[in-house]
Chain A
Amino acid sequence: MSPRIKTIRKVLNPPTIKGFKPYGPESFAQDMEPVNLLFEEYEALRLSDYDMLNHHQASVMMQVSRPTFTRIYASALQKIAKAFVEGRQISISGGKVYFDSDWYRCHGCHCYFNNPHKNEAIVNCPLCGDRQFTSFDYDNMNLEDKTLYNDDFFVCPHCGFEVKNQAGIPLNQQTCPDCNSLMN
């Protein structure tokens, strides 16, 4: 029996780095398979230990169930512990994730465009009307395009409205400007 299909996890920002290298005796880190930390595991660690959210809040942000979030988080800790103890490199890549707004690339005019209305499917390119376009893959993006994803904002768990992160104001004291409920 094939395993159950994984739900796609939402990641707000891709990590700023591609991984970590150990330092110390040169020979130690050589020829060792790096530990592959998935984007979703990085995100779980970030939400839980950097943004200090609890697992329930973090699971809402990643659009997975609370137990699934805990599993992702546990796997992240396990991989990091393995890398630390065995002196392996950590490479951050892969995982079943999407980065917030959906982006597309048109084959006709080579433009990039996003879909601001998430519920409606895009039929043709908004610029040249070509019907040939592909959903845009983060891994194939060049450095210039990555600036599109360099923002930091929260998603209201009640209505899905996106609020820009303001440093210094705890999330659980902010109210959502759209539905006026507390963002916790």
Chain B
Amino acid sequence: MKIAIASSGNTLEAILDKSFGRCAYFVIFDTENQAIEFIPNPNKDVEENAGPASVQLIASKSVSKIVSHEFGMKIKPLLDSMKIQMIVLKEPGKQIREIIGMLNH
């Protein structure tokens, strides 16, 4: 099962990004083989519709869950119809390493 995390950097020490659509990097974590992939977000500086574009990118990686600090109003119905689970973590400053540790419960 693949899980996407919105990250503010491309290292495991980076923290969870404040936004999903305009986060710096997406972390794709595969729970089966523990593979971690960092994808730079092409929609980082887009003026409009960064969220839906990011959802398309994430959906193409067949992700089933997304961890983010926040989900915008355009994204929620999209993810609902794609049956992707949203996890809202309201803890600023959480490192990607810690989140992956939690996912390996």
Contacts and interface: CB of A to CB of B under 8 A. Distances in A.
A113 interface: yes
Query: Binding site of B, secondary structure by majority: helix, strand, loop or mixed?
Result: mixed
A163 B105 CA distance: 35
A151 interface: yes
B72 to A, nearest CB: 7
Band of interface residues on A: 20 to 34
A42 B78 CA distance: 25
Nearest to A113: B87
B85 A114 contact: yes
Interface stretch (B40-48, B53-61, B88-96): B88-96
A126 B73 contact: no
Interface in B58-82: 65, 67, 70-74, 76-81
Contacts of B72: 147
B87 A111 contact: yes
B102 A127 contact: yes
A148 B81 contact: no
B89 A164 contact: no
A147 B73 contact: yes
Given A113-B86, A126-B65, A148 B105 contact: no
A148 B77 CA distance: 9
A127 B80 CA distance: 18
Nearest to B82: A116
Contact of A162 (B77, B88, B102): B77
Given A116-B85, A145-B88, A164-B78, 5 more contacts: A101-B76, A117-B83, A127-B87, A130-B105, A163-B81
20 contacts: A109-B102, A110-B90, A111-B91, A112-B90, A113-B85, A113-B86, A113-B87, A114-B85, A116-B86, A126-B65, A127-B102, A127-B103, A147-B70, A147-B73, A150-B73, A151-B73, A151-B77, A153-B77, A161-B81, A164-B78
Instruction: Give the 5 A-B CB pairs with smallest separation, nearest first.
Output: A129-B105, A112-B88, A150-B73, A116-B83, A113-B87
Interface of B: 65, 67, 70-74, 76-81, 83-91, 99, 102-103, 105
